[in-house]
Structure 1
Amino acid sequence: MKISLDWLRTLLPTDKPAVEIGKLLTGSGLEVEGIEELESVPGGLRGVVLGTVLTCEKHPDADKLSLTTVDVGDGTPRQIVCGAPNVAACQRVVVALEGAMLYPSSGEPFKIKKSKIRGAASEGMICAEDEIGLGQSHAGIMVLDTDLPNGTPAANYFGLGSDSVYEIGLTPNRADAASHYGVARELRALLRQPCHLPDTSKFHAPTEAAQTISVTIEDPEACPRYAGLLLENVQVGPSPEWLQRRLRSIGLSPINNVVDVTNFVLHELGQPLHAFDANQITGNQIRVKRAEAGEKFVTLDAAERTLKAEDLVIADAHGAPIALAGVFGGKTSGVSNETTRVFLESAYFQPAAVRKTSQTHQLKTDASFRFERGTDPNMVLPALKRAALLLQEVAGATIAAPVVDEYPTHIGHTAVRLRLPRVEKLVGQFIAPERIRQILTDLDILISEELTDEQPTTSNQQPTWILSVPPHKVDVTREADVIEEILRIYGYDHVALRPHNSATFLANFVKPDPEILRQNISRLLSGMGFSEIITNSITNSTYFQKPGEKNEELVPLLNFNSADLDVMRPTMLHSGLEVVRYNLNRRQRDLKLYEFGKTYHRQADGQYQEKNKLVVYLTGNTASETWQQKSEKATYHQLAGAVQQVLAALGFGSPTSQPVQHPYLAGGLTLLAQNQPVAQLGAVSGAVLKQLDVTQPVWYAELDWDWLIKKYKNNLVARELPKFPEVRRDLSLVVDKTITFDQLQQIARRTEKKLLQTVNVFDVYEGDNLGAGKKSYSVSFTLQDTTQTLTDQAIDSVMQRLIQQFEQQAGAVIRR
């Protein structure tokens, strides 16, 4: 959600800097994800000032140029060569100084430099309106009528202030803040400054009319309130510049003055509106009703939709739909350039009714976004009046009939019981009742009654307030919700940490703490040069579905906001590859990434399952090219080494392996501990890389974090340094290509369990001189006895037994 600070200040005047306001909003739960600085014209006219032409003479070497001196307010007149035919002495003009960057209405930006024109020095430029982006005219320079002193920034003269636009990550429970007025209410409580609704005191509607449009609500549960107003003499056309600028500041494109006003009021007050062409409403009647199952309806986007019986629609006198209530208008009743009569709708729809229709027809609009979360029924009439006054101003409209306001099911305030000692208990700090009362008042929460409850077991009295919560606070229905509201405004930063924290409930924490283990592994991977990422648990179902097939294991979302984010991820691979793609597109090709997260699965019995995973990605080069070394491509073995270090840190230092069976990997290994698959690693298949538009190979590992934590072995025991030296012996083994090093390692460890410390392969060779289907492993063996120095006889005995078992179990031939 985008919020313009300049727009916000029309509702709550404040001179607080944009960054400070952003911090306040984030601290209260409206997270400011970014602040964008907007300028009315590109460059903000920096380096452009007002000046006075002191002298103006003909250029000695050019008939169409003038040689002027200009006072720009710094005590040093500038000599400027000007080609405008209307330049003259004593004029007040706009001057671009040396170093100013200008953004003309057409053409490329250019920088003002000190130069010579036909042999005469020129120290700036006297500007026409198109040269500084203020218009299209190039007939001559701008001549101003002003008493402002020379040197005044031109932006001040033209009223071109900059604006700061907040990108707020609005959580679903904060429907009350889904508008500029909603954010202004929040700041009112944070700054203790008054905010106000736009003035609608000049709104006047006739008490009767020759012709009006009646409203009938046939489903008051789905539509508790519906108001409307008939406007005539509407002149549809472009909106004035101020209105277009307001919409553009929050990322909206102006359409026409009628539609722009409805969008403006929606983002100003949070109340969605809809404008119907009144001449297209058959029978001059609006019926709010459920649709007929199977009937067809063409929406504004020209798409024909088949309606369901649960869809709430706005219909005409014959019952024909003209809009999907709270979601989207109809093509035939929409405002066009020929529209002269408008029926303006302002309503309150039950959130669940709008959500179902929006979800069924995959229509997500600014209106449905707000209706689905809950709007303010008390804002229906103020928004309608505000829009009517604006349409009078920008479209010449006249109010032709009384306001229609059908409100069969009144929505009142919610009564909530608040125990003041409970505030201290949940917050963890005493807040004075006067401060609580002040916060509640600033949040429009009224104290309707103050009670004192007698405690049955003590003589203490517990003050209790009965609160009246307004309907725009849709998420405040319980005592805990009210306390959260108090804490948000009081400030989380104001809650002091006590030296000795305690809790009313102590769980039996499993030791070691899984979170500590996760931190340890994070430090291990970060120390190896990997960067941690956090990706979305919601992803795109098309990643996992083949054409014509339905993946029954997917966990779909019932109420998703985007077709690209409609299921819970069954694997973390694709969300990580999106991060890889994002970096590759920005020429960051050497990546070492890891992530802790969850995957989600639907089982055969219909139950859902969450699994914790640790995944690792490796792509590009692992070593940058320098004068000392060449760049090295990432390899499977580097990934495997990182995974084995993680397993070793968790107490699983010698896993076995088998060929990987993974739907998205093209070759690799599955590592097993205690005969349980704990890690799968290998190269991501080309089909997946192509699907995600990843343009280089990626190595991927996936670890079963749940099992590793459950079976964690704490082998970090301090041991005395060995007193006796270790011994290394090497063997070169020729075996069939089907024999893996893991098999050789297992043979060695079964053969010698006491003295054998490590087994390592340091070379693999394949060649015609070995024979068809053969390869050679060069393997090192580290032997050590903790009680005595190894003798040559003991070492030879171990190596002979190893050779014998390699020959018998693996068919190995020892290369001498």
Structure 2
Amino acid sequence: MKFLFNHINNFIDQDITIEDLSEKLIQLGHENTFDQNVIDIEFTPNRGDCLSLLGIARDLGAFYKIKQIEFYNSEIREYDINFKNTIKETCPNISFLKIDIDATNSNYLPYLEDYFDNFGLNKNNFFTDISNYLSYELGLPTHCYDATYINDNLLILEDIEADKGIEFETLLDKKIELTGKNHVFTINNKIINLAGVIGGKKSSCSKDTTSVIVECAYFKPESIIGKSIKYDIQSDAAYKFERGVDPELQEKALRRFAKIVQDHTNIKSIELYSEIDLKKDIKINLDEKNVNSILGTKISKKEYTKLLETLGFVCLDNSVEVPSYRSDIKSQNDLAEEIARVLGFDNIAPQEINIKSQTKEKVDLNESTIKSFLIDKGFNEVINFPFSGEELSNSIKVDNPLDSNKSFLRTSLRESLIQNLTYNERRQKDIIKIFEISDVYDSHEGQINYKKVLGLVASGRKGHNYKNFNNIIDENYLKSVFKDFTDTKIEFSQVDRSEIQSKSKYPIFLLEIEVSNLLKGAKDYVSVNKTLYDFKKYKPISEFPSTNRDLSFLIKDKSNLQELDNTILNFDNELIKEIFMFDYYLNNETNAIKAGYRIIFQSDKKTLVDAEIDSVMNNIISSCLEIDSIEIPGLK
């Protein structure tokens, strides 16, 4: 996530350099890079509390004195809104702020103007701009409704479950079909907001809005997870709710919203409504001896409590009170990690540890052979996160997971492989052959068990060549592949397409088999490819759509096919992702060949337009037509 250095620096009560800031953040576990006034920080999934200026400042409190944010401190009368919350289990805390102003102001103060100018962001309208900045500053999303639309109508926060799609037009003018279970705000049975994700067009603010209702809520992460991906929406709100926001910040966030409004215009009236279900504070035993045992340190109780208090913890006589925004802190191990971050892992003297060795079955001696075999057959290896959000009766729970939404060790590779397949299908890949070899874990009667498993998922065309282009992957094809490697009986399962959120219609086949069982019937196999460790440099996957163009050639003298093949397959252009021959026909009577080539275009930077593609295609055609006896039928 990107931040302006001067915005972070404004929180710190002393002068520091961006180099100083970068070094401290790295010590705290936040990898980062910086360029001039912008610092880009990478946060682990369990640190949703850091996705804001305030969150970073709280962590930096371990090293610096942090300035306080200014809030609207005048009295606010109670808002008598006609509102009903039917999902208090997943949205226990929600507040609404109604503000009427004399007039909007497009001349923003520097702290607000810098946010848009330095990040190159487009302004929308006065209230929405403040809402977007507030999410950046405090990490808590808010949503603005034009108050004239809401009026005195009953506003309901509810669950809807739809078998058939319900059309909803977002404030970004995108129409989506809501399916399954969703949290929504409704008026008169009409959806005006996909809760926690994005608002609706009809109730949104405009540049003329002078009366606004600002909604600020806490949604439990599991109720929001996956919605933005499902509906293909870029949502900062969903991103933050999924990672966990402060469940007790709603009223303060709205008072900060009011303060920013007050900084820019005259407030005529202001009202506040809140539904707050305060949970009991999370407390952990104050036990510095235990933490010293975990870390191998010798810090005193006084030093221990002082370090925790710099990070916002409240230390009582016998317990540590965890701040509401630190949902990732649950155990002594978590507190030990907090101490280690402040001390600096490099500053803790290493100590030798002794672990009893366990006998491990040697089933991975030929693991590299399996990988080589599958790569030779056109499969790609993936390495997935070894944790899952799915809790089964035999799952093993991790005490301090990096991501609280994935707190169990995988008992199967299926979930990860289906996610891999979905990711690729959404990026228009028509050949998916993926495998993973990894340990999976379960528990039985207190005993932890593990086994090494080969997982494989396949769907789409058999290959990008004229022999396989029109042939679809099926179970017989996959079984024939493995016959070259093992006599072990291989059984594939077919995945129901209803599980996958993509437009592809190809059947999906999945395999999970213990490596030891696969190797029992293994044959001698010598790889035809280079060593597994001859890696290519990583290239990011483009998020922009690809485009295909086909060329059909008539080669009157088949001896010129090789020259055509070399010319077109070796044509170099940064917009070309792949070229292959997908059609071939030899006329034995005339000795002429018809050959079809597909060129796949894709940019890493933008969506390509026809003119850019046409320019490259014209160069390819010109090069090919210079070869004797080559024609493109129908070319004008």
Please tell me whether residue 681 in structure 1 is matched to residue 544 in structure 2.
no
CA deviations on 1:596-627 (whole Å, 9 max, x unpaired) are: xx66899xxxx994579xxxxxxxxxxxxxxx
Secondary structure of 1:260's aligned partner: helix
Counterpart for residue 350 of structure 1: 220
Secondary structure of 1:402's aligned partner: strand
* 1:304-323 aligned within 5 A: 304-308=175-179, 310-316=181-187, 318-323=188-193
Please tell me whether residue 168 in structure 1 is matched to residue 44 in structure 2.
no
Displacement of 1:510: 8.9
Counterpart for residue 333 of structure 2: 480
Displacement of 1:257: 2.4
Secondary structure of 2:316's aligned partner: strand
| Separation (CA, whole Å) in 2 of partners of 1:308 and 1:439 | 48
Secondary structure of 1:232's aligned partner: strand
Counterpart for residue 87 of structure 2: 219
* 1:270-669 aligned within 5 A: 270-281=139-150, 283-293=152-162, 294=164, 295-308=166-179, 310-316=181-187, 318-394=188-264, 396=265, 398=267, 400-407=269-276, 409-450=277-318, 466-498=319-351, 501-508=352-359, 554-556=417-419, 571=434, 609-610=453-454
Secondary structure of 1:345's aligned partner: strand
Letter in 1 for 2:357: L
CA deviations on 1:23-79 (whole Å, 9 max, x unpaired) are: 1101111111x1011xxxxxxxxxxxxxxxxxxxxxxxxxxxxxxxxxxxxxxxxxx
Change (3 A) 1:568 1:692: farther
Change (3 A) 1:552 1:224: closer
**TM-score, length-scaled by structure 1:** 0.47
| Separation (CA, whole Å) in 1 of partners of 2:421 and 2:224 | 14
Query: Would you say the 8 A contact 2:288–2:300 is kept in 1?
Result: no
Displacement of 1:287: 1.7
Displacement of 1:268: 0.7
| Separation (CA, whole Å) in 2 of partners of 1:475 and 1:344 | 28
CA deviations on 1:454-501 (whole Å, 9 max, x unpaired) are: xxxxxxxxxxxx221122001111221121111111210111124xx1
Letter in 2 for 1:179: S
Displacement of 1:352: 1.1
Query: Would you say the 8 A contact 1:219–1:289 is kept in 2?
Result: yes
Query: Would you say the 8 A contact 2:125–2:205 is kept in 1?
Result: no
| Separation (CA, whole Å) in 1 of partners of 2:185 and 2:81 | 13
Displacement of 1:559: 10
How many equivalent pairs are there? 428
Secondary structure of 1:429's aligned partner: coil
Change (3 A) 1:510 1:250: farther
| Separation (CA, whole Å) in 2 of partners of 1:472 and 1:431 | 26
Change (3 A) 1:441 1:251: farther
Change (3 A) 1:319 1:553: closer
Displacement of 1:245: 1.4
| Separation (CA, whole Å) in 2 of partners of 1:329 and 1:601 | 43
Displacement of 1:14: 2.6
Displacement of 1:22: 0.4
Q: How large is the RMSD of aligned CA atoms in angstroms?
A: 4.3
Letter in 2 for 1:36: D
| Separation (CA, whole Å) in 2 of partners of 1:675 and 1:697 | 34
Letter in 2 for 1:165: V
Change (3 A) 1:420 1:220: same
Query: Would you say the 8 A contact 1:224–1:348 is kept in 2?
Result: yes
| Separation (CA, whole Å) in 1 of partners of 2:429 and 2:54 | 31
Counterpart for residue 6 of structure 1: 6
- Larger C-alpha radius of gyration, 1 or 2? 1
| Separation (CA, whole Å) in 2 of partners of 1:565 and 1:477 | 42
Query: Would you say the 8 A contact 2:99–2:267 is kept in 1?
Result: yes
Displacement of 1:676: 2.9
| Separation (CA, whole Å) in 1 of partners of 2:320 and 2:344 | 21
CA deviations on 1:646-702 (whole Å, 9 max, x unpaired) are: xxxxxxxxxx9xxxxxxxxxxxxxxxxx943352428x999999999667999xxxx
Displacement of 1:168: 0.6
Counterpart for residue 97 of structure 2: 229
Query: Would you say the 8 A contact 1:359–1:560 is kept in 2?
Result: no
CA deviations on 1:499-553 (whole Å, 9 max, x unpaired) are: xx12243345899x99xx99xxxxxxxxxxxxxxx99869xxxxxxxxxxxx999
Displacement of 1:217: 1.2
Change (3 A) 1:215 1:697: closer
Displacement of 1:3: 1.9
Change (3 A) 1:680 1:343: farther
Query: Would you say the 8 A contact 1:424–1:430 is kept in 2?
Result: yes
| Separation (CA, whole Å) in 1 of partners of 2:17 and 2:281 | 35
| Separation (CA, whole Å) in 1 of partners of 2:334 and 2:431 | 28
Letter in 2 for 1:286: L
Letter in 1 for 2:251: L
Displacement of 1:314: 1.6
Secondary structure of 1:171's aligned partner: coil
Secondary structure of 1:222's aligned partner: coil
Query: Would you say the 8 A contact 2:97–2:214 is kept in 1?
Result: yes
| Separation (CA, whole Å) in 1 of partners of 2:249 and 2:526 | 57
Query: Would you say the 8 A contact 1:554–1:567 is kept in 2?
Result: no
Displacement of 1:235: 3.4
Displacement of 1:184: 0.6
Displacement of 1:195: 1.7
Letter in 1 for 2:34: I
Displacement of 1:322: 1.0
Pick from 58, 62, 66 the counterpart of residue 195 of structure 1: 66
Counterpart for residue 35 of structure 1: 34
Displacement of 1:260: 1.5
Counterpart for residue 16 of structure 1: 16
Query: Would you say the 8 A contact 2:11–2:67 is kept in 1?
Result: yes
Change (3 A) 1:166 1:280: same
Letter in 2 for 1:177: C
* 1:724-739 aligned within 5 A: none
Displacement of 1:266: 0.7
| Separation (CA, whole Å) in 2 of partners of 1:554 and 1:24 | 37
Displacement of 1:571: 4.7
| Separation (CA, whole Å) in 2 of partners of 1:504 and 1:688 | 55
| Separation (CA, whole Å) in 2 of partners of 1:402 and 1:503 | 62
Letter in 2 for 1:170: F
CA deviations on 1:256-314 (whole Å, 9 max, x unpaired) are: 32221111111111111111111111534432111252433211122222324521112
Structure 1 moving runs of 4+ over 6 Å: 558-562, 565-569, 599-602, 684-692, 695-698
Query: Would you say the 8 A contact 1:272–1:367 is kept in 2?
Result: yes
Change (3 A) 1:691 1:567: farther
Pick from 107, 114, 136 the counterpart of residue 245 of structure 1: 114
Change (3 A) 1:505 1:445: farther
Counterpart for residue 595 of structure 1: none
Displacement of 1:254: 2.8
Change (3 A) 1:257 1:351: same
Please tell me whether residue 182 in structure 1 is matched to residue 181 in structure 2.
no
Q: List gaps (5 residues or longer) in structure 2.
A: 369-380, 386-413, 441-450, 457-484, 486-521, 531-535, 537-564, 581-636
Change (3 A) 1:688 1:398: farther
| Separation (CA, whole Å) in 2 of partners of 1:553 and 1:185 | 35
Query: Would you say the 8 A contact 1:388–1:399 is kept in 2?
Result: no
Query: Would you say the 8 A contact 2:98–2:270 is kept in 1?
Result: yes
